[in-house]
Amino acid sequence: MEQEIADGPLLRVRNVALAFHTYAGEVKALDGVTFAIRKGEALGLVGESGCGKSVTALTIVRLLPENATVTGGEIVLAGRQLLSSTKDEMRKIRANQIAMVFQDPTTFLNPVLTIGEQLEEVFQLSQEHFGRLDSEKTGIEVESAKGKPKRKRTKDLCIDALKQVRLADQQRILKQYPHELSVGMRQRCMIAMALARNPDLFIADEITTALDVTIQAQILELLRELKRNFRGSTLLITHDLGVVAELCDRVAVMYAGNIVELASVRELFTNPLHPYTQGLLKAVPILGRPGKLEAISGSVPDLIYPPSGCRFHPRCPFAFEKCKRVKPELLEVGGGHTVACHLYGEGKH
């Protein structure tokens, strides 16, 4: 990728386990999730629906429902332990250090406030927690009156944020309500709110899924442009391997609450090691590739009663006895390429 990546992780997720308590039983949604994101890096998190991608993101930002319990592990952002942070500390972190854009912008935009009011609230929240806004981050110094940003200067910031996501006629959009905008425009507004303060970590959760193909292409082009200018790190959650190839430096493959493979984008696409990753790539249509697409046999496991050992073993064509009994660990096989599979631990390539 074009972007230079600084050494050292900004975010480290280590052995995180999480369960949801339901009437049907305990859903073991995350089972020892481990990965890191370096400063300036874009990491793609891919896998089937229900594998735990969005739950992982919500665990990082601590926006989990009341029936969720983190049962193990740690999450460290720039040296700060997030799982042990108080609610007030997490509000401050979300106000300045982490920004997240969700799949459906209609759900997360307030229908009774204009876009301008919601953008202004973003800057006012940052002012409340951190005093004078960082002019290096915003590009515009904010004047204060009695501890609050002046409305005119905050409006300048809002216009600048909409320009950043290539929305024209910013004055009109600031006066409009979410229902008066198209889905694509609403998603751009969400991205503008997320990136307005240049957060250290930007999390994008399936942000092209709810859009038609034409708008998807426009949003992806916008993300490519923003990536060139954005100094922070990105966690891109998607089920679309094409999006990962376009936007990411590395990719983590997730299955049933586990990271099963982690490598650079080029390495993963040219040398996939885990049988699940191989199955995903064989299911992707490629122009000029003859024959039918191959499907992964079986179905996603019930996480109330997950399989023992490797959670993929009931669907794996290469499974042997150890796979049913022992959960494989993430092992590095060379060049930063790690895989959780007994085929490589046993040397059975």
The better pLDDT of the pair 229, 177 is held by 177
Share of the chain above pLDDT 70, in %: 88
pLDDT at 208: 80
Dihedral Cα 78, 249, 242, 236, nearest 10 deg: 0
Give dist(CA 34, CA 248) in Å, integer.
18
The pLDDT of residue 177: 95
Structural contact between residues 109 and 118, judged by C-beta atoms closer than 8 angstroms: yes
Phi first, then psi: give them for residue 129, nearest 5 degrees. Answer: -90, -25
CB 245 within 8 A of CB 265: yes
Between 53 and 5, the higher pLDDT residue? 53
Say what the pTM is. 0.87
Give the model's pLDDT for residue 258: 96
Whole-number pLDDT of residue 4: 43
According to the model, what pLDDT value does residue 146 have? 53
pLDDT of res. 124? 79
Q: Mean pLDDT for the chain?
A: 86
Q: Has residue 18 got a pLDDT over 80?
A: yes
> Does the structure show a pLDDT above 90 at 223?
no
Whether the predicted pLDDT of 136 surpasses 90: no
Mean pLDDT in residue range 5-29: 89
Which residues lie across from 42 on neighbouring strands?
A: 234
pLDDT value at 139 more than 80: no
Residue that is written with structure tokens 């386990």 in the block: 17
Compute the distance between CA of residue 245 and CA of residue 40 in angstroms, rounded to an integer.
Answer: 17
> What is residue 257's predicted lDDT score, i.e. its pLDDT?
95
Nearest to 75 by CA among 88, 62, 64: 62
How many Å apart are CA 265 and CA 274, to the nearest integer?
14
Averaged pLDDT for residues 226-253: 89
Of residues 135 and 21, the one with the higher pLDDT is: 21
Q: How does DSSP assign 186-251, residue by residue?
A: HHHHHHHHHHTT--SEEEEESTTTTS-HHHHHHHHHHHHHHHHH--SEEEEEES-HHHHHHH-SEE
Contact 6, 231 (CB under 8 A): no
User: Contact at 8 Å (CB) between 257 and 311?
Assistant: yes
Mean pLDDT for 42-59 is 94
- Is the pLDDT at 182 greater than 50? The verdict is yes
Question: Residue 1: its pLDDT value, please?
Answer: 41
pLDDT in tens, 95-108: 889 999 988 878 88
Calculate mean pLDDT across residues 201-229: 83
- Which run of H or E residues covers position 101? strand 98-101
**High-pLDDT (> 90) share of the chain, %:** 59
Asked if the model's pLDDT at residue 329 lies above 60, the reply is: yes
Q: Could you tell me which residue, 213 or 260, shows the higher pLDDT?
A: 260
**pLDDT for 232 beyond 90:** no
Range of weakest confidence among 173-187, 225-239, 245-259: 225-239
Residue 215: pLDDT over 90: no
In angstroms, the Cα distances linking 159 to 149, 162, 314 are 15, 5, 53
Q: Which domains does the chain possess?
A: 1-97+201-301 (3.40.50.300), 105-198 (3.40.50.300)
125: nearest Cα among 97, 156, 104, 102: 97
pLDDT value of residue 142: 46
Distance CA 223, CA 180 (A): 24
Model confidence band, residue 347 (pLDDT cutoffs 50, 70, 90): very low
Cβ 206 vs Cβ 200: under 8 Å: no
12-23 as b/e: b if 16+ CB within 10 A = bbeebbbbbeee
DSSP-derived secondary structure letter, 314: G
In Å, what is the CA distance from 61 to each residue of 50, 95, 96, 308?
Answer: 19, 11, 12, 30
Q: What is the pLDDT of residues 106-130, one digit of tens each?
A: 888 999 999 999 998 888 776 554 4
Tens of pLDDT, residue by residue over 277-323, are 999 998 887 777 777 778 888 888 999 999 999 999 999 999 999 99
* pLDDT exceeds 70 at position 263: yes
